[in-house]
Structure 1
Amino acid sequence: MSPKEQSFLSRVRAILPELHPAERRLGDFVCDFPGEVASYSAQELAALAHVSKATVSRFIQRLGYENYEEARRHARAERQSGSRLFLAAASDSDDGQSVSAHVTQSIQNLENTFISVGESQANSIAEAILGARKVWVIGFRASSAFAVYLQWQLTQVIEEVVAIPGAGQTLGEHLVSMSKDDVVIVFGLRRRVTQIDPLIEQINKQKSRLLYITDESVAFQKSAEWHLRCQTLAPGPLFNHVSVMALCHLIISRCIETAGAKGRSRLRSIEALNDVLDEL
């Protein structure tokens, strides 16, 4: 692979063994905090890494860029992929982030997420889930945990709900069974796997009703009947998923409320069986 085909970080890692001490210090710094290249000027980066501006210039040339601005554009584009490394800042490693900063950001994320989720939208999602022949929940990587959680909670109120794919299974083994009477819930949180787009395309071909839950970086998916975007900003290198969990809670609670007496009857039966089997 030629340098121009490599990612920004791949270029840096490739030249590290060849660098002189000052450049190596800069290279190690950039590997730890690549987002600083996207955010700061060459002079500011030099100050952060404790090297000269001339060292930064030589380093950028070694990477194969014509100038620092070209490197910045490449780093900015790579930051959009959602890599946690690009979310870290050098200042974070010195003092860390306060508890209040995390709480404040979580509250802001919740407010910014739910401002676009109306009562009618929440109701229509619940009604669709309760009326579906089957509900399929899909998630990969970070999204997998939320998919499994939502599926587990939905079993309290509906029978036909499954999280896919299971261990050793392929998506095709499940997609073939989807129909227009089904609801498919897809979690597409950063960093998304490459098969998300073709997966959504196939779900649309099956004519299933699609609920797409993503972070704020995803453009509105017109083919989805519902697209809910969660704010995931955080102080530090990790995404804040408080709003995702809150959204799951809203969906589950609204389903139980909408199910009414039938839903409460299923909950009572589940608790009775738990007592009989002495499972809890």
Structure 2
Amino acid sequence: MMNDSQAHPVIKGIVKQLDSLTPKGKILGSYIIQNPRKAVFMTTKELSEACGVSEATVVRFVGQLGYGGYGEFLQALRDFVDSGLSLPDRVDLPGMKGPGTDLLHRVVFEEMNNLRQFYEAIDMDVLAQIVAQLQESPAIYLIGSRVSYTFAYYMGWSLTKVRRGVHILKGSDSTAIDWLTNAPDNSLVTIITTSRYPNELIKLGKAARRLQHNLLVITDNRLCPVIPFAHLSLVVPSRSIPLIGYPSTISCIINYLVLELVNRQDPRLNEHQERLEQMYLENDILFNMYTDD
């Protein structure tokens, strides 16, 4: 575990400074390197007690590593731990099971926490850039795989209601390469990927970059392996480590992006939506309580 983990920034930072730390700081650093899956769930008090040091020492230790606070350090450690956990590991995480565990309360509380964290930290300039790309690109390709295909489909289907030229691709389908190869110049390729990051989406990210398309990556972790290929990325982090994933924040962002496109009042929007509604009516696609039998 230690050898593999040393490539990660949070662990690498501890290893790099280990020799310059105080004796108590070295105890903290060594404990975290050897026990990241335990440390990530600890408060400052719990970590200090586990290492036999004071809470003040923990705070100074985190500051020496360059983090703005213990919460910021835990988020970085959480991203590392999340990227390496298997399904059995996740099932054994605290709060996932056990007598007396209020799972409904836990799920709702964690989703609310994730939404609050995102709302407080969101960079509106990045969102504005994304909206501009969604509005101006000649064509948009939404790609997801496994659980993230749900988000890609939801975003793609929603975008078809406000503009033309939207394509939804399944990352596990090899024809996605054909679609990207034949896509118009300056198309926007949007890859939505969540932990644990299917390899096919990494390959498609590389392909989109090679084909000189604009690549937007929406993900849940700063360590997402598709981000290095992106022109623009939006990270929607969670404070807890999920069994499968946390859908609320990504869904919320998709809703916002679509609504923002509507609010820009593109003159093509009304024509596009009227055309859609006419086709729905002519082909009896949607239930209409006012239509005679």
**TM-score w.r.t. length of structure 2:** 0.62
Q: 1:141 to 1:125 in 2, by over 3 A?
A: same
Equivalent runs, 1:183-194 vs 2, <5 Å: 183-194=188-199
Provide the C-alpha distance between the structure 2 equivalents of 1:127 and 1:231, rounded to a whole number of angstroms: 23
Q: Is the 8 A contact 1:157 1:259 kept in 2?
A: no
Q: 1:117 to 1:265 in 2, by over 3 A?
A: farther
Provide the C-alpha distance between the structure 1 equivalents of 2:182 and 2:285, rounded to a whole number of angstroms: 33
1:39 equivalent in alignment to 2:27: no
Of structures 1 and 2, the one with the larger relative CO (CA 8 A, separation 6+) is: 1
Aligned length: 210
SS at match of 2:217: strand
Counterpart for residue 224 of structure 1 = 230
Aligned letter for 2:104?
A: V
Aligned letter for 2:147?
A: A
Counterpart for residue 243 of structure 1 = 249
1:226 Cα deviation after fit = 1.8
1:132 Cα deviation after fit = 1.3
Give the share of equivalent positions with the same residue, in percent: 16
1:144 equivalent in alignment to 2:143: no
Runs of 4+ in 1 over 6 A off after TM superposition: none
Q: 1:159 aligns with which of 139, 164, 173?
A: 164
* Structure 1 vs Structure 2 CA RMSD: 3.0
Provide the C-alpha distance between the structure 1 equivalents of 2:149 and 2:105, rounded to a whole number of angstroms: 29
SS at match of 2:127: helix
Aligned letter for 2:84?
A: S
SS at match of 2:190: strand
Q: 1:228 to 1:114 in 2, by over 3 A?
A: farther
1:84 equivalent in alignment to 2:87: yes
Counterpart for residue 117 of structure 1 = 122
Provide the C-alpha distance between the structure 2 equivalents of 1:181 and 1:236, rounded to a whole number of angstroms: 35
SS at match of 1:157: coil
For 1:17-58, what per-residue CA distance to the aligned partner results, in whole angstroms no more than 9, with x for missing partners?
xxxxxxxxxxxxxxxxxxx99439xxxxxxxxxxxxxxxxxx
**TM-score w.r.t. length of structure 1:** 0.64
1:96 Cα deviation after fit = 2.7
Q: 2:277 aligns with which of 267, 271, 274?
A: 271
**Unpaired runs of at least 5, structure 1:** 1-35, 41-75
Q: Is the 8 A contact 1:126 1:251 kept in 2?
A: yes
Q: 1:83 to 1:265 in 2, by over 3 A?
A: farther
1:106 equivalent in alignment to 2:105: no
Q: 1:167 to 1:219 in 2, by over 3 A?
A: closer
Counterpart for residue 206 of structure 1 = 211
SS at match of 1:195: helix
1:126 equivalent in alignment to 2:125: no
1:238 Cα deviation after fit = 3.6
**Unpaired runs of at least 5, structure 2:** 1-34, 40-78, 287-293
